[in-house]
């Protein structure tokens, strides 16, 4: 999916009542954009998620905060009432250094909209040289034991008021919640002004627990009398942790809306018109027979027309329902969604929610308001191929379970629509991260690239050798490899996949896929096997190591360069390491780069019989088997009939230089 940068233009769904005293406020951020938010320090927004701290190239410190732009009145001086408030947000804390953790994040309310504090134990909330300057009410989610602030342990939440020494704390581990797990955690913070009580709830799910983890009896009216800004802060020391906020809502209650004033004497009797009696004409009696005759003829005709229209719509509806029922697969696992629910979650499939486009449909970001969940909805095209692709994808992936697969959450066949619901991947596609993000100065690190190669090898091993029936994906490419919050590879888009019995000969099918990833024998004979998936995998990991697309146009000239040929030429010259992506500035393990490049060449061998199995590839990458011997010269194959078009001819009309994403389906 190449359109992930459209996320930057998504419009935040924001409901904000007037922030005057005596007015309640309701904010909803199912995802984030720069609209209505201020980013301070190292914070940033990517793919709708706020990152509060950055992963730096060298061990360093980082802190940042995000603040809603407009101040909120929580105190009404006319009535001397402070509003109750509640907030809900989903966050995750990722560890970069297994040897240490720290420091954490906070949700805060403060009269200061420039809250940008020091890193380390100061949580980005206060300045280390001016500890008493910042005023705030905050709930901290602390992941480091700091005796300077009387921390009880290295995994606690606490209520802080104008100081990082917490008034009261609680340990989430007592509820089996580890702040440092890297999992998405949802927090609810409720303050009730009547009972003067603040409560904090935590859960790994989107369902609010019945009992709070932290409950503090406290009157906040003395601290929240000024206009207040709300937001989040976080910090780390030594490039240890990354802190993400994925969604957020905040609302106040307790202020009564002002009532309109009415004057009881505004209406007088003389303003009400009186109806005078109407004269009765004798001529009306003469037309009674005509009217009766007209009604006697017209009414049956009118009701007959109504009945005909009703019958027509009934038959049309019956045919549509029958067609939908014929399409509904016999799948017990995933949930069946209602069309109305998915339409609402995608804002009517609005173009601002588009995540990307595939060969058979468009993918939208969906936000479910009631549960707070975010998903990806694939809307198939209304064509014969779209229906076949929909049924194929649903029937295959519904039965698969692997940590490196995009998990199917449900489906919908209604209103003539074919919809699949998947878990949302915050880092988008590998294609986007590897190429599009690089234009913005963000380069995928080597350790992530190698982890992606291993994860993809693992899931293909599962599909080829560990399922009850062998699954041939047929469209392994960077745009179909999604990345979760931890940059783990998740293989998706099973629209072209096929099921086969193990050890059975493949049958010829329509050749389908993307140029540059298709094995030579598949192009020639149209027979998809596990070895054709292995070839596509080899191209993908060459892309990971080299940062180049499968087919690119030369910088000078119009000749197309095939990535496999280019790497093999360097290997023949004895300088294969020169193929490594120069944007990494040498920050990689050369031995791992060489291993990945050689595995890529062995998988992309033109002779399918010489390609390793995915199990062997996984063992090589995990240092459990010796690498496959790769010939210095690329093998050549001859077919009984030549391929009708050369690579240059096939991609000559593919658009801008460097583009190799040409979808083909030929007989």
Structure tokens at 110: 């403060």
Identify the pLDDT of residue 262.
37
pLDDT at position 150 is 86
Question: Looking at residue 293, what is its pLDDT?
Answer: 54
Domain 335-423 part of CATH 3.30.200.20: yes
d(C-alpha 85, C-alpha 107), whole Å? 13
157 within 8 A of 170, measured Cβ to Cβ: yes
- β-strand pairing of 75-76 with 81-82: antiparallel
Residue 195 backbone phi and psi in degrees, to 5: -90, -5
* pTM of the shown model: 0.52
Q: What is the dihedral of CA 484, 488, 489, 494, to 10 degrees?
A: -50
- Dist. CA 622–CA 175, nearest whole Å: 35
Query: What residues are labeled active site?
Result: 475
Dist. CA 84–CA 220, nearest whole Å: 10
Question: Left if phi > 0, otherwise alpha if psi is -120 to 50, otherwise beta: which for 639?
Answer: beta
* DSSP state string for 247-280: EEEEEEE-PPPPPPP--TTS--GGGS--PPPPPP
Residue ranges of the chain that CATH labels 3.30.200.20: 335-423
Residue range(s) of every CATH 1.10.510.10 domain in the chain: 430-666
* H helix runs in 282-338, sequence order: 288-327
Phi, psi of 151 (to 5 degrees): -65, 140
**What per-residue confidence (pLDDT) applies to 515?**
80
| pLDDT score recorded for residue 408 | 86
> Going along 381-504, which residue ranges are E strands?
408-414, 417-423, 470-472, 481-483, 489-491, 498-500
CA–chain centroid gap for 225, Å, is 38
Is the peptide bond preceding residue 103 cis, with omega within 30 degrees of 0? yes
Q: Cα separation of 438 and 446, whole Å?
A: 14
Give the Cα-Cα-Cα angle 55, 58, 60 (nearest 5 degrees). 75
pLDDT of residue 601: 96
* CATH 2.60.120.200 matches 8-253: yes
* pLDDT under 50: residue ranges of the chain: 1-21, 258-287, 318, 321-333, 383-384, 507-508, 640-667
* Contact yes or no for 570/597 (Cβ under 8 A): no
Q: What tokens does 627 get? A: 């690498």
Topology (CATH level 3) of domain 430-666: Transferase(Phosphotransferase); domain 1 (1.10.510)
**β-strands 481-483, 361-368 pairing:** unpaired
Length of the chain: 667
Residue 378 counted as an annotated binding residue: yes
């Amino acid at each position: 999916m190449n359109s992930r940068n459209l996320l930057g233009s998504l419009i935040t769904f924001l409901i904000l009542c007037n922030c005057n005293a005596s007015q309640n406020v309701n904010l909803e951020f199912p995802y984030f954009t720069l609209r209505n938010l201020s980013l301070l320090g190292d914070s940033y927004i990517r793919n709708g998620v706020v990152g509060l701290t950055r992963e730096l190239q060298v061990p360093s410190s980082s802190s940042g905060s995000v603040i809603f732009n407009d101040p909120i009145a929580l105190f009404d001086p006319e009535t001397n009432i402070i509003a109750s408030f509640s907030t809900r947000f989903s966050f995750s804390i990722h560890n970069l250094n297994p040897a240490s953790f720290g420091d954490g994040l906070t949700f805060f309310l403060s009269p200061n909209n420039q809250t940008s504090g020091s890193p380390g134990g100061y949580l980005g909330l206060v300045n280390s040289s001016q500890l008493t300057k910042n005023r705030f009410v905050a709930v901290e989610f602390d992941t480091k034991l700091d005796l300077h602030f009387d921390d009880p342990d290295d995994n606690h939440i606490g209520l802080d008021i104008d100081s990082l020494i917490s008034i009261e704390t609680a340990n989430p581990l007592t509820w089996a919640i580890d702040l440092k797990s890297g999992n998405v955690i949802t927090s609810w913070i409720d303050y009730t002004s009547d009972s003067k009580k603040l409560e904090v709830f935590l859960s790994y799910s989107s369902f609010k627990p019945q009992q709070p983890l932290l409950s503090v009896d406290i009157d906040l009216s003395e601290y929240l009398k000024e206009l207040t800004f709300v937001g989040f802060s976080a910090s780390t020391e030594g490039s240890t942790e990354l802190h993400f906020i994925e969604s957020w809502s905040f609302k106040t209650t307790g202020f009564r809306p002002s009532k309109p004033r009415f004057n009881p004497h505004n209406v007088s009797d003389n303003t009400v018109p009186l109806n005078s009696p109407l004269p009765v004409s004798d001529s009306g009696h003469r037309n009674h027979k005509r009217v009766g005759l007209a009604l006697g003829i017209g009414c049956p005709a009118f009701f007959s027309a109504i009945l005909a229209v009703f019958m027509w719509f009934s038959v049309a509806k019956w045919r549509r329902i029958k067609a939908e029922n014929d399409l509904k697969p016999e799948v017990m696992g995933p949930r069946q969604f209602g069309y109305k629910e998915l339409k609402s979650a995608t804002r009517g499939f609005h173009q601002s929610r588009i995540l990307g486009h595939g060969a058979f449909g468009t993918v939208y970001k969906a936000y479910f308001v009631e549960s707070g969940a975010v998903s990806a909805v694939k809307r198939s095209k209304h064509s014969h191929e779209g229906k076949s692709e929909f049924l194929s994808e649903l029937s295959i992936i519904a039965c698969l379970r692997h940590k490196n697969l995009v998990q199917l959450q449900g489906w919908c066949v209604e209103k003539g629509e074919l919809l699949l619901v998947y878990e949302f991947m915050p880092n988008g596609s590998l294609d986007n991260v590897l190429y599009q993000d690089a234009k913005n100065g963000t380069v995928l690190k080597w350790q992530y690239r190698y982890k992606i190669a291993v994860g993809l090898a693992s899931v293909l091993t599962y599909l080829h050798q560990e399922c009850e029936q062998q699954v041939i994906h047929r469209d392994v490419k960077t745009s179909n490899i999604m990345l979760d919050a931890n940059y783990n590879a998740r293989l998706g888009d099973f629209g072209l996949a096929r099921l086969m019995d193990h050890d059975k000969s493949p049958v010829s099918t329509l050749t389908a896929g993307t140029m540059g990833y298709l094995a030579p024998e598949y192009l020639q004979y149209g027979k998809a096997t596990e070895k054709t998936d292995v070839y596509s995998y080899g191209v993908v990991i060459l892309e990971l190591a080299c940062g180049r697309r499968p087919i690119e146009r030369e910088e000078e000239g119009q000749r197309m360069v095939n990535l496999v040929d280019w790497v093999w030429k360097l290997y023949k010259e004895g300088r294969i390491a020169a193929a490594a992506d120069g944007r990494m500035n040498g920050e990689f393990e050369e031995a791992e780069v060489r291993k990945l490049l050689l595995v890529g060449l062995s998988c992309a061998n033109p002779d399918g019989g010489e390609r390793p199995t995915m199990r062997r590839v996984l063992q090589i990458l995990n240092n459990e088997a010796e690498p496959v011997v790769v010939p210095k010269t690329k093998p050549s194959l001859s077919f009984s009939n030549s391929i009708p078009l050369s690579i240059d001819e096939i991609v000559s009309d593919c658009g801008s230089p460097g583009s190799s994403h040409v979808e083909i389906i030929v007989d």
